[in-house]
Structure formats: C-alpha cells, structure tokens
Amino acid sequence: MQNAIDPPSKRSKIERKMDKIVYILFSTLILISFVGSVFFGIETKKDISGGAYRRWYLRPDDTTVLYDPRRASLAAFLHFLTGLMLYGYLIPISLYVSIEIVKVLQSIFINQDQDMYHEETDRPAHAQTSNLNEELGQVVTVLSDKTGTLTCNSMEFVKCSIAGTAYGRGITEVERALAKRRGDGPPEDVDASSDLLGHNGDVASGKSVKGFNFRDERLMNGQWVNEPHADVIQKFFRVLAICHTAIPDVNINTGEITYEAESPDEAAFVIAARELGFEFFERTQTSIWLHELDHRSGKKVDRIYELLDVLEFSSSRKRMSVIVRNPENQLLLLCKGADSVMFERLSKDGRLFEAQTKEHIKTYAEAGLRTLVIAYCELGEEEYIVWKEEFTRAKTAVTGDRDVLVDEAADKIERDLILLGATAVEDKLQKGVPECIDKLAHAGIKLWVLTGDKMETAVNIGYACSLLRQGMKQIVITLDSPDIHALEKQGDKDAIAKASRESVTGQFREGKSQLSSANESSVESALIIDGESLDFALDKNLESSFLELANDCASVICYRSSPKQKARVTRLVKMGTGKTTLAIGDGANDVGMLQEADIGVGISGVEGMQAVMASDYAIAQFRFLERLLLVHGHWCYRRIAMMICYFFYKNIAFGFTLFWFEAYASFSGQAAYNDWYMSFYNVFFTSFPVIALGVFDQDVSARLCLKYPVLYQEGIQNKLFSWPRILGWMFNGVISSIIIFFITTNSIIPQSFRKDGQVVDFEVLGATMYTCVVWVVNCQMALSVNYFTWIQHFFIWGSIAFWYIFLIIYGSLSPTLSTTAYKVLVEACAPSSLYWLATLLVVISTLLPYFSYRAFQTRFRPMYHDIIQRKRAEGLETETSVELPPPRVNDKIQLLTRSLKRRDS
C-alpha cells in the first residue's frame, strides 16, 4: 500500500498524434470553407453591377438571403456554414469506431495465440486493454523485475553456511554459465551417491522434494549430529522451522504435509528444516509444534513452542522475527533477514562466525543464490515485559504513523543477536530467457533489470541470462566504500548525505569517461548501480546525468532497489527519453512500476495476481515477451499506422472532389453527389477493407518477424507513422482528388454521353465521379495490402460490387426517394461505353503515382520489410549471413543492405 499510486489512463503515442492530425484536418476544413465562402461572396456581389444582372437566370433580384447580392457578406458567412457541413467528410469520425473494432479483434488474436500459451500452468496470454496494441511495436526500453520475471520464483534450498562452515555441494545454473563464460569445463556436481540420497536415506528411491535440492552427506540423514557445532546446527534449523508464517496442510490419506507460505523462500526454508530433521507439523495462534531430531539421543521428539509475537517482514525492515518460549521456558527471539541489516545488529559476542559467513554469502551471491542471515538471541523476562507494553501500544495506535511506531518498537528488540549462519536458495532462470533477451537486443530494445538482490547475484544472473555479455565494460556506481562506512559509524546524517552525493556525482563523471573510451574501442558497456546511489541519482540535480549515462549503455542493472525506486526509475526513463517504455513484473512490489510505464506486462506467476491485475497485458513466461513485441507488436503497429494513413487518404480524396466541383460550380455550395452516396461512403463502400487491413495484414510472417528482429526497428524509428509519411498520404489524397475530378470532367463533359447524342448531366457526372472514387480508394487498398486472404478480397472487391448493387436498388425507387440516382446506372451510365472507359482511365491514372513511388522506393530506398520481402520472393530468405546476424542492429541493417545490393549487381 505504501508504494501504491492511482491507476493511470494510458493512450498510445499514435492515438495522441492522430488527435493532432484531426486538428490539421479540421483546420483544413475551416480553410477551404473560408476560401469557398470568400469566392462565393465575390461572385454573388458581382451578380448586380450598375443595375445590370450578370447571372440573370439565378434571379438575383428575387432570391433568399443565401444568394442575395445586396447582402453578399451575410450570404458568404452562411455559405461558410454550408461548407463546414459539406466538407465535414474530411473529418474521419468513423475512424475512431473502426480503430476500436480493429483493436478489440487484435486483442482476441493475442489472447488466442497458441505460441504464448503456457501448458504447465494452463495460462494463455491475455490483453487487459486494447488501447496499447500498436504501442507494443514501438518499445525502446524494457524495465524488468528479476525474481519471478526472469526467474521461476520457485525457490530451492541448495546451500547454507552454519557456524562458519559451508554446506551443500550442488552446482547452480549461474555457476555453469560463469564456467562457460570463462571457458572452463563444467564444474563437477555432486557425486552420484549423494545425488541419489532421499530425504529418508533411501538411496534407491532417489525421491525429489520440491523446494529442496540440498545435497551434503555431512548434514543429510541425521549426520549433522556428528558435526563439531551440532548445537549451532540445531538452533539454525529450529529458526528455519519456527520463524515464518507458513500454514501446514496435512493430507489425511497419505499423512504428507505441504505448506502454504507467503513466499516461495519461506516455503523452501520450512521444507529444508523438515528434510533435515525439524518437521513443522501443526500451528495455532499461540503455538508451533515440531518433530525434532535430538542431537544427544538421536531420537525424534515432539516439542511445542509458545508463539508470543511475530514481527513481520517488510521491504523497509528487510527482516522477520518471532518471539517464542521454548519447552525449557526460555524466551527466544529468532530472526532472519538480509545481510545489509543483520550484521549491524549482532552483539559483540555473537560475531564468532561473521568473517566466514560473509565470505560464504559473497560466494553464494556470485553463484546467483538468494541469501538470508539467520540469528537469534535470548530475552530476559523483564526486558520482554517492558518491550511488550510498548509494542502493544504501537500496534493499537490509531494515528497515521502506526506502522512507523511498530517498526521502531521492533527495532528496539531486534538487537544484540547471535549469528548462526546464512541460507542460500536458488531461483532458476525461466526457460528461454537468455534467447529472448538476446533477440530483444538484436531488435534494438534496451533492457533494464531492477532487483532487490545483492550486486553479485544481480551481475551473475545478468551473465546467465545474456543481459551482460563477454567483453562488456561494467560501469559500477556504488556507495559501498570505506569513506562512506566511516561516516556512517559517526552517525552524522548530513555529512553522509553530502559525501554520498559528491561520490555519486564523481562516479557519474568517471563513468562517462569510461564510456567514451569503451565507445572508441567499439566495446559495449553496462551500468550497474545500487539502491543507495539510485536515491541520489533520482534527485533532480543528478537525474539528467544518470539518464544520459544509462542511455549510452547497452544494459542497466539496478540492484538493492525498492519498489518505490522501481517506479521512479520507470517514470524517469519514460519522461526523460520520450520513448515507449515497457515494465514487466510478477509481484505486488512491481505494481507501481507497471502503472508508471507506457505499457505494463504482468507475469501470472506464484506471487499472486496483483501484478496481472495492474497490468495492460498478462503473459505466463518472460520468453513470451519476444513474440508479444516482435510479432504482435510489429504487426499491430504496422496495421494501425497503415489503417490511419489510409483512412485520411480516402477521406481527403473524397472530400476534395467536392471542393473541386464546388469551384467548378462557382462555389455555389452544390454537392457533387447524392446525399445517400455521401452518407454510405464511410459506412459501406470503404470501411470494411480498412478494417480487414487492420486485423489481417502482415508484411512478413511470424516466423520471419522472429528470424529478423531488425524489422522491429520500423516501429522504434516510427517509419510508418512519421510526419513525412502522414503528409505524404494526405498529399496523395489531394493528388488523387485532382486526377479523379479533372480527368472525369474533361473526358465525359465535352462530348455526347449516350447514343442519342445527349451530353452528361449533373446526375451522371456525380455517379461517374463517385464510381471512380470508390474504385480508386479500394484499389489503393489492394496495392497497400501485403498479405491477401479471402477476407481482404471479399471486402475490397465486395465493396466495389456493393456500390453497383446499391446504385441499381436505390435507383429503382421512385424519383421522389432516389432523386438524382433514379435509374442513373441502368439507363444512363451502364449502356455508355464512355462511362466504363472513363472509369478505367481515371483508376489507372490515379494509382500510377503511388505505384511508381513504391516501385522506386522498393528498388532504391527499401525499408526493412521490403528487403525481407524481396529475399523471400527470390527464395533467399534462409541465407546464412542474415540468419546469424551481428549483435548490433546497425551492423545488421548494413549487412542486409549490402547483401541485397550484391545480388542486384
């Protein structure tokens, strides 16, 4: 709740730009209406000049105010209002409805994508919103949580350090990755006999236990009683078995016990304690029951611990404690927590194993393991009674600072601890994470990892998942220095803050110089920064330097970061770069980050549904992000961009034919077309093909989208919805309207139209010109479509056919209903060969400029998809040189272009 923010309302950048385009069209509408009204006023005023009537047939002496030469200014103003209604078709009101329909259908396709379905958990991908589909194709930065997002969040107890002795012989994924990176052979794992040891000592059974992957014959099967510090080992596992909030669930039929825990870590500790002889089997509000292995007698005994208080874990406390009374009537405080807060709470006599434990923790962190420090202390009765009163007052306080009072009270009792050891649990990488991150990097998408883990853990997980790569320069920003530690011991907070800010500023300057030298050597860099430094980096005076340094690095890792810092970093990247950001996480601590990002992707993992409920898209595994962005994101961006540009094109092409006709008719305000023609234009004759484009069109297949991630650069660079492209489509619409109007009028007006010698009248001209518009805009759609299905064919050619069907049906009605459309096709247009020849000439002439432009562009200035389409058409898309691209996007683009030019030459 402390990290919660109000849910934001998100809109894509394309939608926001579309609003600006509508403003431009609205301004155009006002402009042409104003121009028309000015010329209309001039022409109307000339109708009476010196008592003579210029256009006597309009009866200017006996007319309404709309055409009164004596009140030409008023007539011009009224004509302006007429123009606003007449040219209103320039404003694509139906575009918003069409886009919503398309986005909903796109979301359905995302939900039904079998390649993003996780069979193990029976969870498909789910689009929580349809507003951001096209935004998926423009992501520049991905900010990711680690635990449960890059990893499985399925913790396994693999190692521990007790009384300064390291136990556990397993080899982690990170250790294998590090050995591979160093070029060493794979490290030797546990011997075969120890691998086969079950938790009951049955070698043959080889029974595996979820959450427990610990192998060490010194502790397994009760052998820990023979260790030198058996009493410390006993206390260590008692803490694991008691210090938690898990609930045991006993299967009545089998007697098997499972645990419902708040986190996978907690469940792994309880299971580890059980497997090593300290079985937690019953819990009430006041008691905890254990089956324990007595290290003196070697027998299992039942022990009951009276549970007095639970000091819960929080992201600020970074520890959890319980106060219990054991059967010997001793008051014990049992505590587990992060090393950053635990070692400072140890008593002078409780630091016996501190040096060895710190060394082991560092080793575990380098192996990618999550560590916790285990400690305890004995409490005096009077000490506990006094503290209990204060703690009770804090818990029952009704003030706004209740949580602060509770934490302060807990802090007073969690002191003078005795160190027992440390745990190490492994959270394995999800399947396909390294490949996914590598593919995103090839697409030009930068990944930031924001985690609460230690630096060693975060860095080595980074290597294991390909976030950090061999030879990459690491720029480390940290306040873990002797000078800062010395100031912390003095306790002067102002001096600490001043020195820390100066240290971070200096490290930023040094980082920029390191980055410059790395760039000169063509070496990629990675920025690694800790949570304390991040607090200062997010200060207004330093955030620009931090963002500049981070943007110049290929990868960024923020370790020891809090949920609030995750949200602040996300906001900084989003606002500072102005580019599309995507945040992905699986837990409640990621909600703020998901809501701050332009796109929030929740992983439906084991930490509940908070992240999913706060997200815009939900997937089951991190690897599905590759398909969500590179396939669906690329397609949706391309479809929506093409759809909007085409929509503006067809409306401008149609609207400006009205303007040219009005100019031809002395700006009289006369519409060129029948009212029902204009009403049905955006409803039946041109809307369905554009919806089909937005739903089904593909420049390349899903396989090629994944094979050539460079295609994603079209979205990042916004090539398909840039202002030059938008204005180009608008210009194409104006050119099309000019060609349609002037070729139509000049080809059919000067000569006889029918066999009997009759010339073209107003009705025939309108029907012919409208026919040309319908043919042109639908054929333009056919030229723009990359992937034809029967649906596209049906809608494009069906829309043209429906125009003729409509004209026949509507024209067969009585003249009072059909007005200017009465039998215009059957009796006037269809029998005339000039009608068909003019239509053919206009369509070819109008499409020729766009066809020529695309032919030139595809040949001499191809876009990325043009190159891939040509390779596919030539049967060369499996060429090895492109199948194995270099790591940098620019290198890949150059390689593709050079390969194409070599074949052309």
Packing angle between helix 634-664 and helix 72-86, nearest 10 degrees? 150
DSSP 526-564: EEEEEHHHHHHHTSTTTHHHHHHHHHTSSEEEEES--HH
Ligand-binding annotation for 892, yes or no, is no
Helix (H, G, I), strand (E, B) or coil at 363: helix
List the 287-293 sheet strands across, edge first.
165-167, 156-162, 418-426, 369-379, 331-337, 319-325, 300-311, 287-293, 278-283
Q: Say how far apart CA 423 and CA 160 lie, in whole Å.
A: 4
The answer to whether the beta carbons of residues 853 and 780 sit under 8 Å apart is no
Burial of 474 (0-12, 13-18, 19+ CB in 10 A): middle
Ligand-binding annotation for 62, yes or no, is no
Ligand-binding annotation for 586, yes or no, is yes
Strands (E), 237-386: 247-250, 257-260, 278-283, 287-293, 300-311, 319-325, 331-337, 369-379
3-state SS of 840-889 is: HHHHHHHHHHHHHHHHHHHHHCCCHHHHHHHHHHCCCCCCHHHHCCCCCH
Q: How many residues does the chain have?
A: 905
Q: Of 420, 184, 557, which is closest to residue 171 (Cα–Cα)?
A: 184
Ligand-binding annotation for 46, yes or no, is no
Ligand-binding annotation for 336, yes or no, is yes
DSSP 482-497: HHHHHHHHHT-HHHHH
Ligand-binding annotation for 431, yes or no, is no
Helix (H, G, I), strand (E, B) or coil at 23: helix
Structure tokens at 349: 């006599």
Query: Distance of CA 562 to CAs 317, 452, 532, Å?
Result: 11, 6, 10
Ligand-binding annotation for 147, yes or no, is yes
Q: Tell me how many degrees the CA angle 253-257-262 measures, rounded to the nearest 5.
A: 135
Tally Cβ neighbours within 10 Å of residue 551: 16
Ligand-binding annotation for 262, yes or no, is no
Give the position of tokens 């023609």.
677
Query: Distance of CA 638 to CAs 715, 853, 863, Å?
Result: 8, 19, 13
Ligand-binding annotation for 280, yes or no, is no
Among 68, 145, 598, 699, the active-site one is: 145
Strands (E), 380-470: 418-426, 446-450
Q: Say how far apart CA 96 and CA 18 lie, in whole Å.
A: 10
Ligand-binding annotation for 266, yes or no, is yes
Active site residue 427: no
Q: Say how far apart CA 548 and CA 512 lie, in whole Å.
A: 9
The answer to whether the beta carbons of residues 632 and 116 sit under 8 Å apart is no
Ligand-binding annotation for 453, yes or no, is yes
Q: Of 473, 562, 544, 554, which is closest to residue 508 (Cα–Cα)?
A: 544
Residue 124's contacts (CB-CB under 8 Å, 6 or more residues apart) are 111, 112, 113, 116, 117, 118, 620
Indicate the residue type of 792: Q
List, as residue ranges, the binding site for Mg(2+).
145, 147, 586, 590
List, as residue ranges, the binding site.
145-147, 266, 313, 336, 370, 451-453, 560, 566, 586, 589-590
List, as residue ranges, the binding site for ATP.
145-147, 266, 313, 336, 370, 451-453, 560, 566, 589-590
Catalytic (active-site) positions: 145
